Amino acid sequence: MGECLNILSVKVILSLRIDYLHYLLECNRLLSLKIIGNDILSNHVLYELGNFSPIDAKAIIQCLIQHTTFNLEPALIDKLVQDLAEELGEVRPIELQVVGAQLQTENITTLAKYEELGNNAKQELVKRYLREVVDDCGTENQPAAELLLYLLTDDKGTRPLKTRAELERDLQVLVSDIATDSNKLDLVLEIFVKSGLVVLLPESPADRYQLVHDYLATFIRQQQEPKLTQVMAELEKEREQVKKLRQLMAELKAERRQRKISEAKLNSFLKRALMGSVAAGLVLAGLAVIAWDSARKAAISEINALTNSSEAFSVSGQYPDALIEALKAGGKLKSIDGKTKDTFTQMRTVTTLQQAVYLQPNEPKENRAIEVNTLKGDSPVNSVAFSRDGQKLASGSADKTIKIWDMTTGKLLNTLTGHNSPINSVAFSSDGQKLASGSADKTIKIWDMTTGKLLNTLTGHSSPINSVAVSSDGQKLASGSADKTIKIWDMTTGKLLKTLTGHSSYVSSVVFNLDGQKLASGSADNTIKIWDITTGKLLNTLAGHSNYVSSVVFSPDSQKLAFGSSDNTIKIWDMTTGKLLKTLNGHSSGVISVVFSPDGQKLASGSADNTIKIWDIATGQVLKTLTGHSNEVKSISFSRGGQKLASGSADNTIKIWDLTTGKFLNTLTGHNSSVNSVAFSPDGQKLASGSADYNIKIWDLTTGKFLNTLTGHNSPVNSVAFSPDGQKLASGSADYNIKIWDLTTGKLLNTLTGHNSPVNSVAFSPDGQKLASGSADKTIKIWDLTTGKLLNTLTGHSSPINSVAFSPDGQKLASGSADKTIKIWDLTTGKLLKTLTGHSSYVSSVVFSPDGQKLASGSADSTIKIWDITTGKLLKTLAGHSSYVSSVVFSPDGQKLASGSSDKTIKIWDITTSKVIKTLTRNSSYITSVVFSPDGQKLASGSSDKTIILWNLDFDDLLRSGCQLLNDYLIKHPVVLADLPTCQTPFRLEQGVNAKNQITDDDMKGLQNEQ
């Protein structure tokens, strides 16, 4: 640096915080700084970078958005600068950065949309920013993340510097389980640092962590302090539940045995009593009631234990165990007489079953792939390969053996021995008659698959063999080695044809293209090289990874090349142009293995994060994340048809996954922006969705396809509602208008104008004759749908109206507003009947119970309140969401309530007990709207991630789906099937099972008699 300072044409700029200026004193001691008078802290070289003036802040915002597609309304810029400068008269750069980024994330471009956030929109945006960073840590890590943020502040509102050891110690004091999980702590800290929320300061003897700005310290303190006690209590409770889970299952088994003994004794006693006198009848009746009640309580206890067990398995990624336990609970619930079922137990069982059937634990955006079988060994599995016909699977292991498995039965066919070091790679010839294996003993062996005999041993490498590949015609073999070379061999004679040199570090992976004329090699030198096999010449070198390349693979048509790296990414290259097409991000640790599906449409990747991800090549999106391995996934392979995937892991197992099953949950995609509102048709056959892309889509729920797109609004659609007869649809928009549509023809029937601000909510009266609309202009308007005329305008709220709802009898209307109140109106007179107060932030959603006796309200204060309509009294407050509640809806039977929130979750509540029955997590962004189908069997949720999700709550359908998903698994595990009576009927066991494996009703009767 001293030499640079002496070059007049070079300017050296150092940017650092004021509390680190003392480090510059080292420069005075170590460097010659004559050019600045040996005084690096002099005023003429030291410049303070302070806050922006409001004028500068406005200019900066305008400059930043000038050449982008993210255009902010001038009125919004003025309001934003005003809010940011309100406290100090200046704008903090960090606050502008956080708020601006969140505006872009949520696509808030107008003043009206900004003001919908409430009275303190700026604070709400900062709150959401922090919530998103915490959410990025994963559901299971959120409590740890919240506590870590709190620990990086102090009661003075400053940001103490803390080492990892200090943070771990502080967490240990609060909740011991978090601190003992080193990986969890490191993951959260890494996400905080990469998000820019926390700064990592390299120091000796230990690095230290610090929040990026004092402003955030005060804000976090205010936000987290009230939650801390609750979070700690919840974490302690969770720890106790996990601790007691095994004990509970053991007690459950003992209880089952004891209950069978008790029931046998009771039956014997009743028989003896019946043979006595008639006078004993009353006693017997009493005993029967006692026995019935005891059996009921025991059954409910068993069901709850099974659902607990299923949820624990889901969290730990142990599938199909989670589904098996959920099916046991479902079968037990089905066997109980209807009168004994309580709402909480029934709904919890249904939602737990729903989770097990549909959801991949901790991966809320993907569909479930089914683990068909697990093949266990005694050492880490380094490589797996399917034979061309998909009938066999070869696995190479660290125990120096290759195992050949029958894919139909899952049985071990043969164990090939001969190598004297771990096997790193295996590959079948195209006809399946030979197998090549590469080993750390520096040799390649060729095996006869019919006899299992060794045909040839190829020697020549001076270091371990990391990868082997056979050309499509079966004539050539390629081997990549730690000696930095690739060798090409004649598969028939075993002769060495060529040695390819050029890599500067070990070769980790080799693969032939389709015609066998080219070879790709990946290396620890961070590059991929493309070779001409005929000439041996290097054709191209592809670079771009920041760490070593672990695996390379050609697409089936050889037009693309994919390679995975220890930098956690996969890159897709165009082989014609040599250009990078896509970089796939998603793994949290190094990618070890990649493979294309046979149709070239998908890519699978195995990682050191213990997961497999299935990617859509066209979009670059993750389709599925497969969890279940307890150690890194070292090798993956598709079956010929692409329906199954095999994975080999350092956990000593090979897992076989069925990729075609499990897609029962319907996700409706098609909108280009946030889905703001969803509504079921009265017959439950259609769904309407209104979006910020200005469009309304009508969906057929039988097929999941959209029937029509209704266009006409020129601003985001905020609310949609079906007429009671299902023939019309009303839509309210930010263009200030309400439109009435004919659903048979898709034509626009009428446009209702009169509001002078965005329309946030529309609702039909129960008789379909009137429509109510709530607007940001602080008014509710009542319209006559026959004439289109305005009947009444209700005024009284002091802030925008966010939600309106008719009572079931059509006599009353409820309105929720940003003024934090709910108002109940008499629709005959237009008079205000009641004002309900109690929320501490704006009311986003209101809904009447089916009987009209209660009203539920959701608010930005993160709570739901239940009110008595007759008295206006608050009955209950439901707390559990960690961010604002955007939508609430009663189930058709009035026993349950669903709520959607900006914390990206939907919660289903038991109205009687006020308990959360289930939390549904699957959307990647905040929930905007939730609605039950008329029969209560489905729940639809709209999200700002542009999707609608249909949640299946049909108990019988879930049981059928669960049994179908486990079909192959149960055939291979008859002992498990014997414990699942609900899956034992021929209807539940899919056709196509080999006759010797088919279980008949007679077999099951015999098995039941044995039991």
Residues in the chain: 1011
Percentage of the chain beyond pLDDT 90 is: 30
Task: Give per-residue pLDDT as tens, 777-806.
Answer: 999 999 999 999 999 999 999 999 999 999
Residue range 332-350: mean pLDDT, rounded: 64
Is 50 exceeded by the pLDDT of residue 270? no
Pick from 231-240, 278-287, 574-583, 764-773 the range whose average pLDDT is largest. 764-773
User: Can you give the pLDDT at residue 225?
Assistant: 60
Please state at what angle helix 74-85 crosses helix 93-105, rounded to 10 degrees. Answer: 140
User: Can you give the pLDDT at residue 439?
Assistant: 94
Residue range 115-139: mean pLDDT, rounded: 82
Is 90 exceeded by the pLDDT of residue 525? no
| Structure confidence at residue 337 as a pLDDT band (50, 70, 90) | low
| Structure confidence at residue 230 as a pLDDT band (50, 70, 90) | low
Q: Where are the domains of the chain?
A: 2-36, 50-136, 370-658, 796-954, 966-1011
User: Can you give the pLDDT at residue 950?
Assistant: 79
User: Can you give the pLDDT at residue 319?
Assistant: 60
User: Can you give the pLDDT at residue 719?
Assistant: 94
Is 70 exceeded by the pLDDT of residue 759? yes
Report the chain's mean pLDDT, rounded to a whole number.
79
Give, as one character, the DSSP assignment of residue 91: B
| Structure confidence at residue 163 as a pLDDT band (50, 70, 90) | confident
| Common-topology check for domains 370-658 and 796-954 | yes
User: Can you give the pLDDT at residue 325?
Assistant: 82
Is 70 exceeded by the pLDDT of residue 474? yes
Task: Give per-residue pLDDT as tens, 501-515.
Answer: 999 888 988 999 888
From the list 427, 820, 840, 381, the residue with the least C-alpha distance to 630 is 381
Task: Give per-residue pLDDT as tens, 941-985.
Answer: 888 888 888 787 777 777 777 777 776 677 667 777 777 777 765
Q: Are 200 and 207 in contact (CB under 8 A)?
A: yes
User: Can you give the pLDDT at residue 687?
Assistant: 86
Range of lowest pLDDT (42-46, 458-462, 622-626, 707-711): 42-46
The half-sphere exposure of 455 on its side-chain side, counting CA atoms within 13 A, is 16
The half-sphere exposure of 780 on its side-chain side, counting CA atoms within 13 A, is 33
Residue 107 φ/ψ region, left for φ over 0, alpha for ψ in the -120 to 50 degree band, beta for the rest:
left
Is 50 exceeded by the pLDDT of residue 282? no
- Cross-sheet strand order for the sheet of 717-722: 717-722, 728-733, 738-742, 748-752
Q: How many C-beta atoms lie closer than 10 Å to residue 267's C-beta?
A: 11
Is 70 exceeded by the pLDDT of residue 274? no
In order of 335, 584, 918, the CA distances from 519 in angstroms are: 61, 23, 52
Sign of CA dihedral 49, 53, 55, 57: positive
Bridge partner residues of 518 (DSSP): 532
User: Can you give the pLDDT at residue 753?
Assistant: 95
Spacing of C-alpha 723 from chain mean position: 34
Is 70 exceeded by the pLDDT of residue 1009? no
C-alpha 265/C-alpha 952 separation (Å) is: 42
User: Can you give the pLDDT at residue 767?
Assistant: 94
In order of 249, 287, 306, the CA distances from 293 in angstroms are: 22, 10, 20
From the list 637, 677, 630, the residue with the least C-alpha distance to 657 is 637
Residue range 241-269: mean pLDDT, rounded: 56
Is 50 exceeded by the pLDDT of residue 1008? no
User: Can you give the pLDDT at residue 978?
Assistant: 75
Q: How many C-beta atoms lie closer than 10 Å to residue 7's C-beta?
A: 10
C-alpha 418/C-alpha 401 separation (Å) is: 7
HEC-encoded secondary structure of 246-315: HHHHHHHHHHHHHHHHHHHHHHHHHHHHHCCCHHHHHHHHHHHHHHHHHHHHHHHHHHHHHHHHHHHHHH
The half-sphere exposure of 787 on its side-chain side, counting CA atoms within 13 A, is 6
Range of lowest pLDDT (6-15, 264-273, 698-707, 901-910): 264-273
The first and second tokens of residue 404, run together, are: 């050949």
Is 70 exceeded by the pLDDT of residue 339? no
Beta strands in 101-207 (DSSP E): 162-163, 198-201
User: Can you give the pLDDT at residue 668?
Assistant: 75
Give, as one character, the DSSP assignment of residue 380: -
* Superfamily of the domain at 370-658: YVTN repeat-like/Quinoprotein amine dehydrogenase (2.130.10.10)
In order of 109, 295, 343, 423, 920, the CA distances from 300 in angstroms are: 52, 9, 12, 51, 23
User: Can you give the pLDDT at residue 147?
Assistant: 80
- Angle among Cα 405, 406, 411 to the nearest 5 degrees reads 75
The first and second tokens of residue 700, run together, are: 């057929």
- What distance, in Å, lies between the first and last C-alpha atoms of the chain? 83
Is 50 exceeded by the pLDDT of residue 179? no
From the list 6, 7, 10, 12, the residue with the least C-alpha distance to 33 is 6
Residue range 51-72: mean pLDDT, rounded: 83
**Which residue in this structure is represented by tokens 């048509």?**
557
In order of 91, 98, 121, 634, the CA distances from 221 in angstroms are: 21, 17, 19, 43
Helix, coil or strand: residue 52: strand
| Structure confidence at residue 318 as a pLDDT band (50, 70, 90) | low
Residue range 746-768: mean pLDDT, rounded: 95
Residue range 365-389: mean pLDDT, rounded: 63
Task: Give per-residue pLDDT as tens, 725-746.
Answer: 999 999 999 999 999 999 999 9
Range of lowest pLDDT (45-54, 270-279, 503-512, 958-967): 270-279
User: Can you give the pLDDT at residue 256?
Assistant: 56
Q: Are 903 and 916 in contact (CB under 8 A)?
A: no
CA max distance for the chain: 117
Q: Are 554 and 513 in contact (CB under 8 A)?
A: yes
From the list 745, 665, 733, the residue with the least C-alpha distance to 701 is 665
| Structure confidence at residue 119 as a pLDDT band (50, 70, 90) | confident
Range of lowest pLDDT (422-426, 686-690, 983-987): 983-987
Q: Do the strands 779-784 and 790-795 form a parallel or antiparallel pair, or are they unpaired?
A: antiparallel
User: Candidates 3.40.1190.20, 3.40.640.10, 2.130.10.10, 1.20.1600.10; correct CATH number of 796-954?
Assistant: 2.130.10.10
Is 80 exceeded by the pLDDT of residue 928? yes
Pick from 125-134, 207-216, 562-571, 885-894 the range whose average pLDDT is largest. 885-894
Task: Give per-residue pLDDT as tens, 582-627.
Answer: 899 999 888 888 888 888 899 999 998 888 999 999 888 888 888 8
| Structure confidence at residue 455 as a pLDDT band (50, 70, 90) | very high
User: Can you give the pLDDT at residue 354?
Assistant: 63
Bridge partner residues of 696 (DSSP): 690, 710
| Structure confidence at residue 25 as a pLDDT band (50, 70, 90) | low
User: Can you give the pLDDT at residue 875?
Assistant: 94
Rounded to 5 degrees, what are φ and ψ at 464? -55, 145
From the list 735, 737, 762, 766, the residue with the least C-alpha distance to 751 is 737
